[in-house]
Structure 1
Amino acid sequence: MQQLFSVSWRFAEFNDPWKQRKLGELAKIYRGSSPRPIKDKKWFSKDSNIGWLRISDVTSQNGVIEYTEQHLSKLGMEKTRVLTNEHLILSIAASVGKPVINKIPIGIHDGFIVFVGNKFNIYFMFQMLNYYKNVWNKYGQPGAQVNINSDIVKLQSFYFPKNKEQGKIVVLFKKIDQLITDNDHKVENLKIVKKQLMQNLFI
């Protein structure tokens, strides 16, 4: 990632220079909204299939939102921004700068922004934002919780390759991520085997 995003290493078939672009030039960026008061039970329903995205859901999942602890009622849906298909989302409060992609229908509150009408590969941008997640710290005061607004995100610029090169990079990242997942499963299975062996040995 260091070599790719610093453009010190590239695939042989690409030689066009990466262009600096503002995020607001590459997508429409909208902020979520929250029903108030947020703790009112009328906004939520266990029978709903529309999730309510919270920071705890973001930090407990590895960048891909496949479930949420809470779900929105019909009233709650009217008071927030509901996303029924896959989107790139960025946290702008609390755990600032964490990107996620939703795989389920969700509503997002005002601690998140969403990218719409993207002129980029969504998975490439996810990897880039994740790599540069600490860039937002410069907007906070020392010792204080960082919060940023959508205008700051729109004006932030990065260097981008053309979409074909973005796609090639995404394929590479997905292969590596799959290898990591497969090896994590192997490690967990080995831990189970070790525990069972120890139980049998020491009984």
Structure 2
Amino acid sequence: RLGRQVRIQNDANCLAVSEATDGAGADCHFVHAVIIGTGSGSGIAIDGKAHRGANGIGGEWGAIPVPWMTSEEFPGPSNWLGHPGAIDHWCSGTGFQADYLERSGKALKGHEIMALKRSGDPVAGATYEAYASRLARALAMAANLMDPDCFVLGGGMSNVDELYDDLLPLMQPYIMSDVYEVPIRKAKHGDSSGVRGAAWLW
């Protein structure tokens, strides 16, 4: 109908392409870009190109259960596919808010929970610690499988500055290496990165 070629990728792959091309991962051969917002998913860019995989599901990290669950966590809440304990629920901003609601009985936004955590509120602090642990384990699993040159975080929870100091030490016990040094960076282009990545498909 348009009389021209159309190129399509999912939002996480577009984020990865944008950040690998001229964003936070521009100096990296292999970028694993992770969205931690309303939902949670990821995309892969290799040399600035989206990695789709044989069936178009390359990088669908969010569909996997959070690894190394504790007995208290198991089996975990179900995601939209009905699978318990999945990354796309627990590592999203929505999952962060749901966990705080379960612990406190109060429905707050992510930035409100973080403000309480920073003021010393123990329930908010415990909610953040659980979230950071789950995200770190999920990233460690990706590190063991793919060993990317960098991780780039996008979505609302990527604005939580504490994560950039806390994630790597929390990942280390689950990494299959004595030494693991990989940058974990905030998306340079923010909420515009997915749209920019769609343009970079050309």
| TM-score using structure 2 length | 0.25
Higher strand share: 1
Higher relative contact order (CA 8 A, sep 6+): 2
| TM-score using structure 1 length | 0.25
